[in-house]
Each structure stands twice: as structure tokens, then as C-alpha cells.
Amino acid sequence: MLRILALLAALGGLAACTNSNDLDKTPAYLGDFSLGHNVVVAPNLTKGPASREASKEEWIAAMTTAIDERFGRYEGERLYHLGVSIEGYVLAITGVPLVASPKSALILKVTVWDDAMQTKLNEEPHQVTVMESVSGSTILGSGLTQTREKQLENLSRNAAKLIQNWLEQQNHEHGWFESGATDATADDTTDDTADGAADRSAAGGDAPAPDDTAAAPPAG
């Protein structure tokens, strides 16, 4: 983790710019999404090299606020919970312009829960790598022009925007937040199962219930 953070801080200028200053615009389409629980933790928080200090409590508060600001705007008909684990960060210190100006960076992992289905939408947490936005005031490194608090706020807002981008992609590719289609599929499956059971019953009796014990994977 330290090695990754060091590399990000050194090569931050190569990262794509993230514009999180769009909260006054219409939210990006996320189907029936409505934010349920917003859970942010930092059990394994790692501070990268050449970084200012920030506590777990500060990161959790900033990230929680950024997620609320971005996703609290959605008013869909179905609740989804976001779980975020902050893994590591660099809050750039003052460097030497054009020689050694480290960039701020943040690494976190995200899990999405469907409240109605009581299940995770992504089995493995999705990792998000965040860099500070490049602007006239940060092109030489935010350590020269921004306070620690401002760096932390900006990274958290950029993180929330990147999470939104990822959710948009998942909805477009997999229909995560299109419960109408999901529910219709579930209804069709239920109907097919019922029809199949009726056919089996007419042919000579109901099929036996699945044996959960036999289906369980062997221990070890």
C-alpha cells in the first residue's frame, strides 16, 4: 500500500482529471437508485510517504459528507446501501515547484447492497483510486496552495464522483438499478417454477425439496 501511494503521489500529474464541481447540475442517471445507509470505515488506514496527517475520524466525516452530498440527490423508488472502506491516502506536503511537488491521492474500496434483495451487487469490493483535481492552483501540487482540510475535502468529493461514474457504468452494463427488469425476470422465474411443479405433480407427485446438506460444499 505504501509503495502504491508513493507512486501515485509522484505521478499524479498523469492521472485523469476528475471534475466534482457538478452538484448544481442534474444528477447522472442511476435508474431507481435512492441512497439508504452510507457506511464509511477506515480500519486499515495507511498514510503514504511525504503526507500531511489526517485522522480516521476526519476521513470518515469528510467521505460521509461527500457521499451524502452527491447521492442524497437521488430519489429513486428502491434503497441501495453504500459501504466504503478508506485504505490509504497522501495529503501532499509543500514541495519544490517544478522539481518535487507531490500530489494528493486516496485509495478506497466500495461495496453496494440492494436493500430489497438483501444482497451485495458486487461480491468483491471495487477499488477506487483518486487523485487531486488539476487546476491553476494545484498544477504545482496542492501542498503549495491548499490547507490540509481543503485537500481532504477535495479528495473526498472526487472519490464520490468516481463512485458515481462506476455505478453509472454498472447500471449501463448490468442494470443494477433497473428493478423493473429485475423484478420481471424474478416473476418469470417464479411462474416457470410453479408451472414445472404443477406438471411434475400431474405426472405422479411433487418433486422432492432440494437437499441443502447434500448441496453444501465439503468442509476444508
Number of structural domains the chain divides into: 1
Nearest CA-CA partner of 141 in 21, 10, 4, 18: 10
Q: What is the spatial distance between Cα 131 and Cα 18, in angstroms, rounded to a whole number?
A: 8
Q: How far is CA 220 from the centre of its chain?
A: 32
pTM as predicted: 0.73
CA 139 to chain centre: 27
Per the structure, the complete domain to which residue 94 belongs is given by: 2-13+37-178
Mean pLDDT of 32-44: 97
* DSSP 8-state symbol, 84: E
Q: Is residue 32 part of a domain?
A: no
Rg for the chain, CA atoms, rounded: 23
Q: What is the sign of the dihedral through the CA atoms of 70, 72, 76 and 78?
A: positive
Q: How far apart are CA 166 and CA 108, in angstroms?
A: 13
Residue 131 placed within a domain: yes
Q: What is the CATH number of the domain that holds 54?
A: 3.30.160
Tens of pLDDT, residue by residue over 197-220, are: 334 333 333 333 334 333 333 343
Alpha carbon of 88 to those of 17, 53, 56, 109, 138: distances in Å? 20, 12, 10, 10, 21
Contacts of 79 (CB under 8 A, 6+ apart): 34, 35, 36, 115, 116
Dump pLDDT digits (tens) for 153-172: 999 999 999 999 999 999 99
pLDDT bucket at 20, cuts 50 / 70 / 90: confident
The pLDDT > 90 percentage for the chain reads 56
Q: Which of 117, 137, 118, 131 minimizes the C-alpha distance to 183?
A: 117
For residue 112, being part of any structural domain is answered with yes
Q: Specify if 110 maps to a domain.
A: yes
Q: At what angle do helices 148-174 and 56-71 cross, to 10 degrees?
A: 50
pLDDT at residue 196 greater than cutoff 90: no
Asked, for residue 185, whether it belongs to a domain, the answer is no
What pLDDT, in 10s, does the model give residues 73-99? 999 999 999 999 999 999 988 754 444
Judged against a pLDDT cut of 60, whether residue 195 lies above it is answered with no
- What spatial distance separates the first Cα and last Cα of the chain, rounded to whole Å? 30
What is the model's pLDDT at position 87? Answer: 97
Phi–psi pair at 144, nearest 5 degrees: -85, -25
DSSP state of 51: B
